[in-house]
Amino acid sequence: MLNLIKILALPTLLIVVLSIGVYQSQSRLAENLLRTEQREHQLQQKRAQEILDRWLAKLYALQKVTRTPEIEDIVMQGRHELLLTSLLAWKQALDIPIVALYTRENNTLHIAGEKTARNDFGGLNQWLTEQLSTPRAREQESLQLFRGEPTFLVSSPIIIAGEPRLLFIAGQPIDKNMLDRLAAQLGLPVKLSKSTSADQIAGHPLPEGKWIALTLPKTLRASGYELSIQLPPASEIRSSQHWAMWTTGIVIVAGLLLLGWLVHLDSLRTRRQTQFVEAIMAKDKAKLSTLPEPWKQTGETLLETLHELQSMTEQQHVELEKLREKRHKLKHQYEHLLKKYHALENQPKTRSSFLSRMGDEITTPMNSVTSMLKLLQEFKLPPEPTEILDIANRSHQVLASNLENLLDFHKLDAGLLKLIPADFEIKVMVQEVIDELAPHAQAKGLELEWNINERVPLTCHSDRQRIRQVLYNLVGNAIRFTKKGKVSVFVDLLYEKGHQLVRFTVVDTGIGIPEEAQKTLFDSLAERSRLTNSSFAGRLKLIVCRQLVTLLGGQIGVKSEVGKGSRFWFTIRYYPPKSTT
């Protein structure tokens, strides 16, 4: 009993000191209560304004989305269905009640997530016409009656060829539903006032609460709207603080009393645990006899378990030594196999290095043949020899291209191919490829067309020869595997992760490529794939294209459908020209 009194003496003293401190703090709390209330009101008002600003900012986020290059490309291509799909995605992502698209050409208002009738404008007929009839259409906000409800609208026009054609619209109805959602997010009563109508209140207003006005957009303020939140009165804050203070004091007192009793029980348990551990460590059953029966039985069971674990440990040491010897033998075998692997790995690289260094010995005679064929074309020959000469010239171009790709394939495999960047004109390079392959297309009755976007710079600093080789291979393959129709070449400019990329696209109306074959189309020839003699050369060109595009800092890809044609594309990093002339 005396020990228990000693244990509880300190907690009792702490309770007395705590009570005195609480009494003194009450007087200081009364002086600071008014300042605390004012600070709390300011923080609640600031938090409510931030939530309202973030909520309205979702409407203005649509203006930034409509100014991205991806949206401009979709609009230029006239793909309105994709725009409508994007509208629904924006509405769900930003949680905007109304997201719509108005097309001036069709005079139709499309609302995301709804099936809108052709002449259903929700009462916005005149407003939509005014938005796109202004000579300098721009983003703006407005308060309009949409389907009989006052609605805050934010519009953003899309201008094509200097004339507004499309109008993106984001809207928020000013109704009871808006107030309920805002009150739920703020956790406070909300009141919407207007000079010409009765007040609307959401939440549970307090009889003595204070209403504080929030800042609304200029358009809503000009229409006489005012949005307010209600803060709790000072009396409720004071009573809640006093209740929390006394509750805390009671909990502390009860906790200290319980702590003293637990300390007493813990000290008794600690003495028994110490005696139990000493008996186990000394492996002495005699010391266990002085403990209570449950402790005694547990100790005897642990001693028997320790004996068993000791014998198992000795057996494991013997097995560990055997495993170490086995590991040492396996290590020697692994090193021997690794040497053989490196020797086999270097054999194909040696062959590739030999072929790449023999390139000059092969290309020099080929260049001589090219020059002779060009000289023969300058002579005026009868029609039949001229036709034979044209066939020989086209066959020579195919042979030279295949040989160039074969040598480059081995150079890339041996790591000997290096880029030689220089300034060149993109349009001139594309024109050369088209002129050189035009006879092949004409011989098959195909139409060969090309177009360069006006945003593409005139001059670029990169390896002209390798870019031309990639474009030549893709256009040549397209002509080869297209029986009728046309082959089209497009060049445009992209922006990705802060970098400018020049994209070359080759579209044909050929036989198309199965979806399974597209996955391994640019893989190495070492892959197990079914290649016929007619497709081997084309496959080799694509593999060389992928490796060259990677060196140029770009990417390559394909999208195809059997029976409808293929679309090959590749990108290169754009670097401005080095020279100033």
CA dist., res. 292 & res. 297, Å (int): 9
Q: Residue 406 pLDDT more than 70?
A: no
Q: Is residue 21 part of a domain?
A: no
Q: What are phi and psi of 333, to 5 degrees?
A: -65, -40
Share of the chain above pLDDT 90, in %: 19
Q: Calculate the alpha carbon distances from 506 to 148, 431, 571 in Å.
A: 52, 14, 12
Between CA 366 and CA 297 the distance in angstroms is: 97
Write the CB contacts of 113 (distance below 8 Å, at least 6 apart in sequence): 88, 91
- State which of 124, 153, 173 marks the end of a domain: 173
pLDDT score of 532: 47
Mean pLDDT of all residues in 106-114? 80
Residue 320 lies in a domain: no
Tokens 């110490």 found at: 274
**Rounded CA separation 557/566 (Å):** 11
Closest alpha carbon to 460 in 499, 419, 426: 426
Identify the band that residue 529 occupies on the pLDDT scale cut at 50, 70 and 90: very low
Token digits of residue 567: 């679309």
- Position 497 pLDDT exceeds 80: yes
Tokens of 171: 């809207």
At residue 445, the pLDDT reads 93
Look up the CATH number of the domain holding residue 106.
Answer: 3.30.450.20
Rg of the chain over all Cα atoms, to the nearest angstrom: 42
Q: Is residue 274 part of a domain?
A: no
Q: Residue range 473-479: average pLDDT?
A: 93
Is 108 within a domain? yes
* pLDDT, mean of residues 352-367: 58
pLDDT value of position 168: 80
- Going 290 to 296 to 300 to 302, the CA torsion angle's sign is negative
Residue 569, both tokens? 């594309």
Q: Residue 441: its pLDDT value, please?
A: 93
> Which of 136, 155, 173 is the C-terminal boundary of a domain?
173
Residue 90: inside a domain = yes
- Which residue bears the tokens 């010995």? 361
> What's the pLDDT score for residue 190?
82
Mean pLDDT across the chain: 76
pLDDT score at 398: 63
* Number of folded domains that form the chain: 2
What is the DSSP track for 275-340? HHHHHHHHT-HHHHTTS-HHHHHHHHHHHHHHHHHHHHHHHHHHHHHHHHHHHHHHHHHHHHHHHH
Q: What is the mean pLDDT of residues 3-18?
A: 61
Termini Cα distance of the chain: 103
Q: 453 versus 33: which is more confidently predicted?
A: 453
Please answer whether residues 233 and 210 qualify as being in contact, where contact means their C-beta atoms are separated by less than 8 angstroms: yes
Residue 45 maps to a domain = no
What pLDDT was estimated at residue 494? 94
Statement: residue 130 has pLDDT above 90: no
Confidence check: pLDDT of 170 > 50: yes
Is 269 in contact with 226 (CB distance < 8 Å)? no
CATH code, domain carrying 472: 3.30.565.10
Residue 425 pLDDT > 90, yes or no?
A: yes
- Checking if the pLDDT of 290 tops 70, the result is no
Q: Name which of 420, 431, 425 is nearest 465 in CA terms.
A: 420
**Token duo for residue 444:** 């098959």
| Residue 462: inside a domain | yes
Asked whether the predicted pLDDT for residue 566 surpasses 90, the reply is yes
Residue 275, pLDDT above cutoff 90: no
| Domain interval for residue 529 | 418-573
Burial class (CB in 10 A: 0-12, 13-18, 19+), 376: middle
Check whether 78 has a pLDDT greater than 90.
Answer: no
Greater model confidence, 524 or 369: 369
Nearest 5°: the CA angle 558, 561, 566 is 45
Band (pLDDT 50/70/90 cuts) for residue 280 is: low
- The model's confidence at residue 88, banded by pLDDT at 50, 70 and 90, is confident
CA–CA distance, 511 with 88 (Å, rounded to integer): 36
Q: Which residues, at least 6 apart from 125, have a Cβ–Cβ distance to it below 8 Å?
A: none
Query: What are the C-alpha distances in Å from 295 to residues 10, 275, 277, 278, 298?
Result: 32, 10, 11, 13, 5
DSSP letter for 236, please.
H
Q: So what's the pLDDT on residue 1?
A: 47
Q: Is residue 243 part of a domain?
A: no
Q: Which of 173, 191, 209 is the last residue of a domain?
A: 173
Evaluate if residue 347 carries a pLDDT over 50. yes
- Is the pLDDT reported for residue 534 higher than 60? no
Average pLDDT rounded to a whole number, residues 497-506: 93
Across 104-116, average pLDDT:
78
Long-range contacts of residues 313-317, Cβ cutoff 8 Å, at least 24 apart: none
Residue 8 has pLDDT above 60, yes or no: no
> Which of 183-192, 222-231, 320-329, 358-367 bottoms out in mean pLDDT, i.e. has the lowest?
358-367
Mean pLDDT on 140-159:
80
Percent with pLDDT over 70 in the chain: 66
Closest listed residue to residue 404, CA positions, set 350, 360, 463: 360
Cα gap 38→58, rounded to integer Å: 31
In tens, the pLDDT along 182-240 reads: 888 777 888 888 766 777 787 777 776 778 787 777 777 777 778 788 777 655 445 54
For 3-26, what is the mean pLDDT?
A: 62
Average pLDDT of the segment spanning 52-70: 73
Q: What is the mean pLDDT of residues 276-292?
A: 62
Across 190-204, 400-414, 510-524, the highest mean pLDDT is recorded for 510-524
The pLDDT tens digits for 371-403 are 666 676 667 767 777 667 667 766 666 666 666
pLDDT of the residue at 242: 57
Answer with the residue of higher pLDDT: 377 or 30: 377
